[in-house]
């Protein structure tokens, strides 16, 4: 990569070290998370996982938290476009994966890539969030304050109860999580319909993004919509008895050109019969 290209949101070193013969998945984290949430996924041998870091999170913790979802998505889209141009990647195949807050970021970033840069991801892959045009079914709103946010974190799980009682945690992380919630909460749908496939994944016990909620994403694509549900709650992606990174990697491979399938007969068969996956449940 050119030394003149400075990337903040994506890990440029990971791009440089990636196997260019395999497709890429850019991973957008949930509220209060960071790129490290996907550390185990970057070891995947099927695709190149590239983590995305927001200002004020993870390795960018010293930066101010962002207050604009639009700004995040514009900057990320610009970095992806610059990477493709700088490295002369003529057949760069990739998807955007986002969980919870990351899901709406994946949707908006794809829109910008397509409309402004004429770059089309193979698909977006989303989990844990209601569709862009729908109201959040969760009763929590940032206007309810910090204590209500703590109760929200208890309800969705993943944050140890004892940690929620630690003053240092509350003083440091709660403002970050609150800011992320506000970021996603302020999003206003503009009627965008993506002209690329959407894969939607659901934890059956996710109270804020259950089966009926996640299936609504089919209304924001003019192409194929593929839905899959699994046992688990909001953070089912980390709790399955099989690696979720393999699931979304295989789904992306189903859409990519045969050169990425490396002679795998099962994957070639799935590529040929991709319509079989339309609104199919757990696989």
- pLDDT band of residue 13 (cuts 50, 70, 90) is confident
How confident is the model over 161-184, as a mean pLDDT?
A: 91
How confident is the model over 214-225, as a mean pLDDT?
A: 97
Q: Write down the pLDDT at residue 196.
A: 97
Q: Write down the pLDDT at residue 90.
A: 63
Q: Is the pLDDT of residue 273 over 90?
A: no
The fraction of the chain above a pLDDT of 90, given in percent, is 69
Which of 4-13, 100-109, 261-270 is predicted with the least confidence, judged by mean pLDDT? 261-270
Which of 69-73, 146-150, 250-254, 263-267 is predicted with the least confidence, judged by mean pLDDT? 263-267
Q: Write down the pLDDT at residue 241.
A: 77
How far apart CA 174 and CA 82 sit, in angstroms, is 34
Q: Is the pLDDT of residue 5 over 70?
A: no
How far apart CA 281 and CA 283 sit, in angstroms, is 6
The fraction of the chain above a pLDDT of 70, given in percent, is 87
How confident is the model over 202-210, as a mean pLDDT?
A: 94
Q: Write down the pLDDT at residue 277.
A: 45
How far apart CA 104 and CA 130 sit, in angstroms, is 9
Q: Is the pLDDT of residue 88 over 80?
A: no
Locate all alpha helices (DSSP H) within 136-273, ordered by sequence: 146-156, 161-164, 167-185, 211-214, 244-255, 265-272
- Residue 107's alpha-carbon distances to 43, 73, 170, 190, in angstroms, are 25, 9, 30, 12
pLDDT per position as a tens digit, 120-148: 999 999 999 999 999 999 999 999 998 99
CATH of the structural domain 12-137+191-274, one choice from 1.10.274.50, 3.40.50.1820, 3.40.50.1980, 3.20.20.70: 3.40.50.1820
How confident is the model over 160-183, as a mean pLDDT?
A: 91
Q: Write down the pLDDT at residue 257.
A: 65
Contact (Cβ atoms closer than 8 angstroms) between residue 35 and residue 9: no
Summary mean pLDDT of the chain: 88
How confident is the model over 54-70, as a mean pLDDT?
A: 94
Candidates 43, 63, 45, 44; CA nearest to 53 is: 63
Q: What does the DSSP 8-state code read for residue 181?
A: H
pLDDT per position as a tens digit, 23-35: 999 999 999 999 9
How far apart CA 112 and CA 182 sit, in angstroms, is 21
Q: How far is CA 215 from the centre of its chain?
A: 17
49 pairs with which residues across the strands?
Answer: 25
């Amino acid at each position: 990569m050119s030394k003149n290209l400075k990337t903040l949101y994506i890990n440029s070193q990971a791009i440089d070290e990636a196997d260019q013969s395999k497709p890429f998945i850019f991973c957008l984290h949930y509220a209060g998370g960071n790129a490290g949430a996907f550390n185990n996924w970057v070891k995947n041998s099927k695709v190149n996982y590239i983590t995305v870091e927001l200002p004020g999170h993870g390795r960018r913790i010293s930066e101010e938290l962002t207050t604009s979802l639009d700004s995040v998505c514009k900057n990320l889209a610009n970095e992806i476009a610059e990477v493709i141009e700088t490295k002369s990647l003529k057949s760069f195949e990739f998807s955007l994966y986002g969980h919870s807050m990351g899901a709406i970021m994946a949707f908006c970033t794809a829109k910008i890539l397509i409309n402004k840069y004429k770059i089309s991801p193979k698909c977006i892959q989303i989990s844990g969030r209601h569709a862009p045009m729908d109201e959040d079914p969760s009763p929590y709103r940032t206007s309810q304050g910090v204590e209500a946010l703590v109760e929200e974190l208890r309800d969705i799980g993943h944050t140890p109860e004892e940690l929620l009682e630690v003053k240092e945690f509350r003083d440091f992380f709660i403002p970050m999580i609150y800011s992320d919630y506000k970021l996603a909460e302020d999003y206003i749908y503009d009627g965008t319909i993506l002209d690329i496939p959407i894969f939607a994944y659901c934890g059956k016990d996710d109270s804020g993004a259950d089966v009926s909620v996640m299936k609504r994403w089919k209304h924001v694509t003019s192409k194929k919509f593929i839905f899959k549900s699994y046992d688990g709650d909001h953070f089912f992606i980390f709790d399955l008895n099989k690696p979720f990174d393999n699931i979304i990697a295989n789904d992306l491979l189903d859409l990519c050109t045969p050169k990425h399938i490396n002679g795998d007969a099962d994957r070639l068969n799935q590529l040929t019969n991709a319509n079989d996956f339309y609104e199919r449940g757990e696989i």
